[in-house]
Structure 1
Amino acid sequence: MNSPAAPTGQRILAGILFMCAAGMLFPVMSGFAKFLGADYNSLQISWARAFGHIVFMLMFFVPRFGVRMLRTRRPGTQLARSALLFASNASSFLALVFIPLAKSASITNMAPLLVLPLAWAMLGERTSVRGLTAVIVGFVGVLIVIQPGSELFHWASVLPLLSAACYALYQVLTRRIAGIESPETSAIYSSVVGGFGMFLVLPFVWKTPHTVRDIFFFCSLGVLGGMGHYFVARALAYAPANIVAPFQYMQLIGSVIVGYLFFGDFPNLWGWIGAAIIVAAGLYTGWLQTRK
């Protein structure tokens, strides 16, 4: 039996806390993926993340909720969510082969800003001109991080932006079915395309893990990603996307820490400036929506 609904303020706070927790799990997952990217194809890494996600979620949720949680009333939307999440992960993991973790995370953090116009168009969650202006300002921050036309520019810097766009669409679709599907059901289905669809491609890119460390990293991807996206689904069930989305910026802090501890990478001045602009724009949009 479900517990009584908490007061609105408490539910929004719970949604924010769940989103912050997800933002701390994802950098560790990305760090493990970057380690693996040196020796393994990014499609194999993406498959391991998706398939491990499904296995972990089945072990974690089925004993508690039973097989009824596998029933979905929106199969088309769930498959679309899953395809978007796989595309987001695959492009992000490929980018990590070439660029530092913090840089990738800075660009990917454009996703909460992209949620605003998408939520307006697809969910009717209206925003203001100031909110849309913040989206443009955030994109300026992305350009500062990428530095197109400079000698520091790398083509792979475009991949996190693609990842952000796919992830923003994923979040909006998650919000669309949040009142129809349980967070547990959405968490399971979010990796169906990557977990099972990739079996068609896997034989062509497979490389057997050759160390215990690599096996541990491959297995951890699904656990960390599964819990992270369950937290996202739970956050979006508690509060509107335009309120909780900006709190994903905890992921940027975690990415700087993981990137420095794991790889000795530290953002340069322009990286910090661009990231600060992106975060400021995102927090401003969150403040606008909360104030409204």
Structure 2
Amino acid sequence: MNDNALGQNRPIAGILTRLGAMLSLAIMFAFVKLAGQDGVHVTESLFYRQLTAMPLICFLIWRSEAGWPAIKSNKHKLHILRSFLGIFAMGLNFWAMMLLPLADATTISFTVPIFATLFAALILREKVGIRRWSAILIGFVGVLIVIQPGGTLIPAFGASVALVGALVTASVTLVIRMLGRTETSIVTIFWFSVYTLPALAICAYIYGGGHEPRTWLYLLGIGMFGALGQLTITQSLRYAPVSTIVPMDYTALIWATMFGILIFGQYPGLSIWLGAPIIIGSGLFIAWREHVKSSKLTVAQVEPVA
């Protein structure tokens, strides 16, 4: 049974929790950028992000009705694939935040639902109608406006890292969708941490080192707010359906813009103001069409056959 089925119909709680999640993740990414400026390697940031989340995950499993027996799974090949893709995507996203202004990297990350829909059509052979194909094409127009190929406003390398990060993140959503047929989100998160922490520990040992007290605070902030964001994202899905809370994800751009200006003195360029609404609008339309599609499927499954 999916987590959504276990939750209550509390849309306001779901929306507020999701808004809190976006703020937490925006703070985490600000710490990622600050740590990067202090010379912290991206794999070290990833290690502390995962290490701090692990006790929280264990606590949630312990407090759940099923308890520790719930972590049993016969989908370990999928969990390993999800872990490999997930940590690769997270690493690229962290790196993009280090290379680009926060608002720019966040805007490019909004292409994930566009890529996910494209992959679902090409890989999972899901039926995608003309409306969603149109939204995909319009979304890519927004991407071109933001990154301006051949321009100089956004570093080409940083934009490429962010785009590849969005591509890999979209592939992760497909694997999670497959796991979601039999696994709860907390089980998926647990095995994600289990399978990624050993490799990250080795990388942190190789690339890590001594830091100033300020830098250790940045790493602590990455772990704490990353874990809080992970918890609140999961909890928001227990309060309300995805179609209700996903639009709240785009508030991350507000926080990224504010932190970028206040902390790093980075003001979004005109291309962000022009391209971001197009990308966000495309993503919202895709989310709405997914909601319509799932609603029709539910009705078809509930209605008796005449």
TM-score range, shorter chain: 0.7 to 0.9
Which residue of structure 2 aligns with residue 29 of structure 1? 28
Query: Is 1:50 the equivalent of 2:37?
Result: no
TM-score by length of 2: 0.81
Pairing partner for 1:204 from 202, 206, 222? 206
Answer yes or no: is the 8 Å Cα contact 1:51–1:194 preserved in 2.
no
The letter for the 2-side match of 1:56 is L
Aligned amino acid, residue 182 of structure 1: T
Are the equivalent residues in 1 in contact too, given 2:17–2:236 (CA < 8 A)?
A: yes
Q: Is the 8 A contact 1:123 1:176 kept in 2?
A: no
After superposition, the CA RMSD in angstroms is: 3.1
Identity among equivalent positions (%) equals: 27
**What is the identity, as a one-letter code, of the residue corresponding to 1:78?**
H
Q: Is 197-206 or 108-117 further displaced after alignment?
A: 197-206
AA aligned opposite 1:168: A
Q: 1:188 to 1:291 in 2, by over 3 A?
A: same
Q: Which runs of 5+ in 1 are unaligned?
A: none
Aligned length: 288
- Work out whether residues 142 and 278 of structure 1, in 8 Å CA contact, stay in contact via their aligned partners in 2: yes
**Is the 1:137–1:278 contact (alpha carbons within 8 Å) kept by the matching residues of 2?**
yes
SS at match of 2:145: helix
Give 1:121-140 correspondences, 5 Å limit. Answer: 121=122, 126-140=127-141
Instruction: Tell me, yes or no, if the aligned pair for 2:7 and 2:238 is still in contact at 8 Å.
Output: no
Correspondences of 1:35-74 after superposition (within 5 Å): 35-39=34-38, 40-58=40-58, 60-65=59-64, 66-74=67-75
- Once the two structures are superposed, residues 206-264 of structure 1 have per-residue CA deviations (whole angstroms, 9 ceiling, x without a partner) of 122321x3223212323322332344455667888777655422222221122223222
Q: Which runs of 5+ in 2 are unaligned?
A: 294-306
Contact 1:171–1:241 (Cα < 8 Å) also in 2: no
Quote how far apart the aligned CAs of 1:18 are. Answer: 5.2
> Which digits, 9 at most, give the CA deviation of each residue in 1:107-160, with x for residues without a partner?
011012222233445666533221122112112212221122112241111111
Secondary structure in structure 2 of the residue aligned to 1:201: helix
Structure 1 residues 151 and 23: alpha-carbon distance in aligned structure 2, compared to 1, 3 A threshold: same
Q: Which residue number corresponds to residue 299 of structure 2?
A: none
Distance 1:136 1:16, change over 3 A: farther
Q: In 2, distance between residues paired with 1:161 and 1:106?
A: 10
Q: Which residue of 2 aligns with 1:76?
A: 77
Q: Partners of 2:33 and 2:116 in 1: how far apart?
A: 26
Sort the Cα spacing of 1:69 and 1:251 in 2 relative to 1 into closer, same or farther, 3 A.
farther
User: Relative to structure 1, is the Cα distance of residues 198 and 56 closer, same or farther in structure 2, using a 3 angstrom cutoff?
Assistant: same
Looking at structure 1, the residues matched to 70 and 262 of structure 2 have their Cα atoms a distance apart, in angstroms, of 39
Q: Distance in 2 between matches of 1:76 and 1:17?
A: 35
> Does the 8 Å CA contact 1:21/1:231 hold for their aligned counterparts?
yes
| Range 118-127 or range 101-110, more displaced | 118-127
- Relative to the length of structure 1, the TM-score reads 0.84
Counterpart-to-counterpart distance in 2, 1:222 and 1:37:
15
Alpha-carbon distance in 1 for matches of 2:191, 2:240:
21
2:188 matched residue in structure 1: 186
Equivalent residues in 2 for 1:215-226, closer than 5 Å:
215-226=216-227
The answer for the alignment partner of 2:164 in structure 1 is 162
Q: Which residue of 1 aligns with 2:301?
A: none
Where does residue 276 of structure 1 map in the other structure? 277
Deviation, structure 1 residue 166: 1.6
Residues 86 and 193 of structure 1 are in contact (CA less than 8 Å); yes or no, is this contact kept in structure 2?
A: no
Q: Which amino acid aligns with 1:191?
A: S
Q: Distance in 1 between matches of 2:255 and 2:68?
A: 35
> 1:281 deviation in Å?
1.0
- Retained in 2: the 8 A contact 1:18–1:231? yes
Residue number in structure 2 paired with 1:116? 117
Structure 1 position 89 matched with structure 2 position 112: no
Structure 2 vs 1, CA of residues 146 and 96 (structure 1 numbering), >3 Å: closer, same or farther?
A: same
Distance verdict in 2 for CA 1:141–1:196, change over 3 Å: same
2:249 maps to 248
Q: Whole-Å Cα distance in 1 between the matches of residues 7 and 184 of structure 2? A: 19
